[in-house]
Every structure is written in structure tokens, then in C-alpha cells.
Chains A and B, each alone.
Chain A
Amino acid sequence: MNFFKNYARPAALLLAMGLTAAHAGTIVFNTDYSDPGPKAAIAAAVKGFEAENPDIKIKVNTFDHEGYKSAIFNFLTADPPDLATWYAANRMAPFVKAGLVDNVTGLWAKNGWNQSFSASASSMTIDGKKWGLPLTYYQWGIYYRKDIFEKLGIQPPKTWKELLAACAKLKANNITPFAIGTKALWPAAGWFDYIDLRLNGYKFHMELAEGKVRWTDPRVVNVFKYWDELVKPGYFLANNSSYDWQDAVPMFAKGQAGMYLMGNFAVDVMKSAGLKESQIGFVKFPVINPSIPDAEEAPTDIVFIPSGAKHKAEAEKFMEYLATPAVQSQVNAILGQLPTNKNAKLPDDPFLKAGFELLSSAKDHSQFFDRDAPAQMAKAAMDGFQHFMVDPASLPATLKHLNSVQKAVYK
């Protein structure tokens, strides 16, 4: 008994203290979920996790979107948090390549995420390893004015031909077929992505994003030929490079524009511009080449563990918590987006239901041009897309320029 008293008890005590020190602690979680909805979603997840794990506290640092994009470069190298939100695919490549992201392939295997997150698995893979957890995504597609289409007797277009016919009819009725605002460049990239995905397919699109295809390739030129069938007759909102995408929504709401190719986040803005849910329709981007399997844009937000994290075990635990079907349903219901875990419950929203069907029937998911291609390439290409929409004659010079940028980017 003496032995126990003298040595074992203090030793056990020390051991216990060591264990709690290793388990308990405060996880630092950096995120740019700063809008009211996203902020509430994160808060709900944190609250639920802390209730289940009373010995772990989570400290959430919320950044604004634009600031976060440069802040992450600083905090990942200087003062890494235990978890951070970011974007999938090529957007995380610079961090992965610099060795700043923790490899979580083990967690994927252990929790069977390869099955439950099969749709986003490829966008989380770099060099054959997994680097984070896909938290949420949303669909892209054509939103149209149901009431106007009904009044003019237009069917939602399923093929390119039908799309052109619908545009012609809207234009004849003094309605701009497509609302768009390209000031921030990326909305134009949505058009390039979709025409390329429908015309040349997902594999080709990715090869272009990875710099394996020249921009002057006839198949790329062909994309712009199709695009021009909408640009030349003036089917896009005039002077669109003066507007941000939100600035074009009022035209859509006032019935001056009939359709809008956008991500699902636009529905909220359309509703607050005065549209009722019954006035908005959603249709998949039309088929151009029927032999090409469907691919859809599904920009994915992720959570990852920086390699410099101080509480990796706790961070992994939180990541596993975020991946469970129940939390996935809860978080995405607040976000108004689609859960990435296919066992999660779908939010009760007609657009999200349509989006879920769309994404689950698609063979492949792309992330969006500025996330699939390296930053410098994406910027130059999007400048070119905007230029093309203003002046299609600029195309040959633009493509040549993009070739030279490509040469510099992919060394």
C-alpha cells in the first residue's frame, strides 16, 4: 500500500493530467463564413460538438470573404489554426504543395468517406491523397422566369437549339434573354465552363485547366463559336462588364431579362429583389453534344487541418463530427446549400431538391474555372472571356495570349 501511496498515485495522477492535456484544449477554427446564414451554420455545429465533447472548446475566428483570401497566406505560415475553411480542387493545391495541409487520407479510409462523399472525392484528391473534408456545395444552372416563359409559350430549353429558339423569342418580345454582370470576371467563366463541358466533355475541360491542351486548339475555338451564337445576336445584357452579378438581378426581377446562368446562391438575391418562388424556374444547362456525358459545376467548400495545427487529434474529431449525416443535414439546412454526404437529409427547398437530382445524375463535377485552373491562368482566361463578350473579334489575339500565359504557368 505504501508503494501505491508514494509512487503510483502521483504517477497515475500525472498520467491522467497528461491525458487530459492531450485531449482537452481549445481548437482554433478560422473561417470566412461571415454572412449571417453561414455564421449561424458554423455556430450550430460548434455548439453541437461542444455539447458532445465537453472537454474540447472551439474558438471560431470569422474573417470577411475577400480579406480571408489573403489572410490565409499569412496565418498558414505564421500562426496556423487547427482547422480552416477553403475551396476544393486546384485552389488548395498551392497550400498542399507547400506542405501546409495535413494529409487526412487515413480519416477518409477509417470513416468510409470514399463511399459517403463519393461525389466530391476527386475534388479533394491531390497526388492521390485526401487533404480535407468537403463541407458543402451547390449547383449551377439556368434560372428562368417561369411566368414570362408561360406567357410567351416558351418551354424550358433542353438542347442548344431550343435555347437559341427561346432566346430569339424573348428578344423578339423586347426581353433580354440572359442577365449577366461580368465586372468581377467569374460570371463569364460559368458560360465558358458549361459550353466546354457540354461540347468537349469533363475530361477535356480538366485537361485544359491543367494546361495539357493549347488554347488555340480547334476544340477550344469551337466553344467560342457556340458562345458567339449568343453574343452576336445580343442575347446577353448590354454593357454587362459594368455590372456585378447582383446588379443584373433587378433586370431579371423586373422582367427585362428572362434567364440567368448562376449558382444557387442567386435564388436568395432574386427573392429579395421581389420575385416569388413560383416565378423562378430552374433548368439544367442544355445539351449540346448528346454523346457527351453530363458534367455539372459544383463549387465545394472544404475544411482542412493545417500541418502546423497544435491540436490535431481534436481537430480530426471535429472534422469527423462535421462529416456525420446528421450534422451535414443541420449545417446545410442553415446554409441553404447541398450536403456533400450523400446519406444526409436534403433541405426542404425546391431549388435544392432540383440541384440534388442534377448533381447526383451528373457523371462528373467541376469546381468552376477559377478553382480548377491555377490562379494566374484563371485570371488571364477570365479577362479573355470578358473581352470576348464585349468584342468577339478579339478572340484570336486573346487565345494566342492565353497560350503564352499557359507556357509560363505550367512549367
Chain B
Amino acid sequence: MRQSVSPLLPAIRVWARRHQQGLAASLFLLPGLIMFTVYVIAPIIESIGLSFYSWDGLGAAKYIGLENYVNLFSDEAFYTALKNNIIWLFCYLLSVPAGLAIALLLNQTSKGIRFIKSVFFFPFVISQVVIGVIFTLFYDPSLGLFVKLLHFFDIKPIAVLSSAHWVTYGIIVAGLYPQIAYCMILYLTGLNNLRPDLIEAARLEGAHGWKMLFKIVLPQLRAATFIAVVVTVIGSLRSFDMISIMTQGGPYGSSATLAYYMYEVALSEYGFRMGYGAAVATVLFLIMLVFIVFILHRVYMQERETS
């Protein structure tokens, strides 16, 4: 009875069997793809669209073409944010060699090393907010430890968070604190997978010290380095939380990054210029896109190599 209802069914079944592998893959991918489209792709398109409008979040949005972008390029605050993002990018990358150094230091077998390792990893476990608050206290110009330290070394005290010159570096140091721990853990796992035979062979050939590190160890840590750099670069570009906690972009806007500036013009108390914020976001997105394309290219090439 059933088969006669739908003569199409066997045909579908045959087709499905023939394309079983591809079909299964697509079906498994489908939920992810739908999610990705709804929650990632669509908002990106919507944001970029919004950047051509003037909208206060209440009334009707007005199409103004490229005006937001024209204003952006004559906006001093935008350039300050851009400059800070570049400073963040370069200084934040210090966490990669610093993480490697600590990882090498901790990569030994002695009593209690597990405990020491977990202590070094601790900064990554505590919340960014807590780190931001602690560093704000650390920099406090009247009671903070930092001022006491400078005093001890007879250096003229600096109010780090109220100095337009130092504030960004001060925040980056706070940001490095957990990021170094993260890079360290990446390298520690990498170091676990070193090939002992290669190390031994190199040692027999007389390699040690820097030569050993650069020629034998580091090449084997390529995967860890790649991930550490990628995570750090992306982290530096979207730096927001530390700034929001420690300075709120101040003094007078000199510590804002693009991500923070976008929040400020679009969503903060004095903001609600949605179109303008979307334009800032679009610029940030384009900058990130450069890195994302680079990363995807690397991953793609690697996969081709291995397959």
C-alpha cells in the first residue's frame, strides 16, 4: 500500500544512498550554518548597512550615504582610537615571547612544578574585570603600589591613568597580565609534544642554548606560535573591557580604541549615534578582515599540505 502511494520514494532513497557521505556532511553542517548565518553573517551585513544611515535609536533612520565615513575621517577621536589600536597590536604581541620564556622556564620536572605552573596560569583564570580593578588600584596616584615603587627608586611619580601619554601603555600592561599566561599555556602543551629523538640528535651534533631554541625547538612549536599570534592579534583589536573598567576611554578620550569608541558613540550614555557607531565598527571589521583572510589562508594551505 505504502509504496504505491509514492513511487518517488524509492528514487529518493537510491539518490540518498548514492550521495550518502555528502548528504550526511551537509545535514550535520546545516544547524551550524543556520546559526552562523543568523547570528554572524546577518548582523555584519546589517551593521554595514546601518553605517549609511543617521539613526538615534528612536525615530526613523535617515539615509545619508557616505556622510558617516566622511565625518569619521576628519574626527580626531577616531584617529586617537586608531593610533591606540596600533599601539595595542604591537605591545600586545609581547605576550607571545614572554609566554614562551615562562613556558621554557616552567618546562621541567621537579617537585611541585604542577603547582607553580597553575600559579602562573592563574591570571588567565581570574576575570578581566577583577584584573582591571586591581591594576586601577595599583596605579592609584596617591595610594597605589606603583607610585610607592617609583618613589623607592627615586623616580618622579606618574599618574599613569590620568596621563594622556602613558594611559594606553598602562592599560596594555594590565591586558598583558592574563594574555601572557594564555600564551604560556599554549607553549607548555606544545613543549610536551616535542620529539625527544630530534632534541637528542641535535645535542649529539653539539647544538645548545640559542641555537637549540631557534633551530630545533621553535620550528616544532610552529602550531603553538601560530595560535598564540592569532589569538593575541585578535585580542588586541577588540580590546574593550580593560579600557571600560580602568579609564572609560579617558582622560579626555585619549585611551579609547576603535572598539571602545564604537561603544561610546553608539551605546553609551552620551551616544546613540547608531549609524556613526556602525561606521566605526565597519572600519574595525575591515582591519580585522585583513588578519582573518591571512589566517584562513594559512589554515587552508596547511590543510592542503597535510592531506
Contacts and interface: CB of A to CB of B under 8 A. Distances in A.
A82 to B, nearest CB: 19
In which size bucket is the chain A interface? 20 to 34
A185 B58 contact: no
Contact of B267 (A70, A376, A386): A70
A376 B247 CA distance: 19
A386 B163 CA distance: 12
B252 A387 contact: yes
A242 B159 contact: yes
The residue among A100, A370, A383 with the most chain B CB atoms within 10 A of its own CB is A383
Nearest to B265: A376
Contacts of B161: 241-242
B57 A387 contact: no
Contacts of B140: 242
A174 B139 CA distance: 24
Contacts of B252: 241, 383-384, 386-387, 390
A241 B271 CA distance: 21
A362 B161 CA distance: 39
A183 B58 contact: no
Interface stretch (A55-63, A91-99, A129-137, A200-208): A91-99
A342 interface: no
Nearest to B74: A404
Interface string B264-306: 1001011111000000000000000000000000000000000
A384 B269 CA distance: 17
B248 A94 contact: no
A401 interface: yes
B133 to A, nearest CB: 12
A364 to B, nearest CB: 25
A293 B155 CA distance: 50
B273 to A, nearest CB: 7
B250 interface: yes
Interface in A61-84: 66, 69-70, 73, 76-77
A393 interface: no
Contact of A94 (B142, B267, B272): B272
Q: Is the interface of B mostly helix, strand, loop or mixed?
A: loop
Interface in B243-260: 247-248, 250-253
A241 B250 contact: yes
A77 B273 contact: no
A379 B269 CA distance: 9
A185 B273 contact: no
Contacts of A99: 59
Interface in A96-137: 97-100
Contacts of B272: 73, 94, 375
A405 to B, nearest CB: 10
Interface in B36-53: none
Interface in B72-97: 76
B141 interface: yes
Nearest to A100: B58
Nearest to B54: A411
A346 interface: no
Interface in B100-133: none
Contacts of B248: 183-184
A185 B271 CA distance: 15
In which size bucket is the chain B interface? 20 to 34
B251 A73 contact: no
A383 B253 contact: yes
Nearest to B267: A70
Interface in B152-202: 159, 161-162, 164
Given A375-B271, A383-B252, A386-B251, A241 B56 contact: no
Interface string A230-241: 000000001111
The residue among B161, B269, B272 with the most chain A CB atoms within 10 A of its own CB is B269
Nearest to A370: B270
B141 A238 contact: yes
A271 B273 CA distance: 40
A387 B251 contact: yes
A174 B252 CA distance: 29
A378 B270 contact: yes
Nearest to A97: B59
Contacts of B26: none
Contacts of B76: 401
The residue among A239, A370, A401 with the most chain B CB atoms within 10 A of its own CB is A239
A408 interface: yes
Interface string A359-393: 00000000000100001101100011011001000
The residue among B159, B248, B252 with the most chain A CB atoms within 10 A of its own CB is B252
A376 B161 CA distance: 24
B71 interface: yes
B58 A94 contact: yes
A239 B159 contact: yes
Contacts of B270: 370, 375-376, 378-379
B270 to A, nearest CB: 4
12 contacts: A77-B58, A95-B58, A100-B58, A183-B247, A184-B248, A238-B159, A242-B141, A376-B270, A376-B273, A386-B250, A387-B251, A390-B164
Given A383-B250, A390-B162, 11 more contacts: A70-B269, A73-B57, A76-B58, A77-B58, A94-B58, A98-B56, A184-B248, A370-B270, A375-B272, A384-B252, A408-B71
In the complex, the 4 A-B pairs of residues with the closest C-beta atoms, listed nearest first: A379-B270, A239-B159, A241-B162, A98-B58
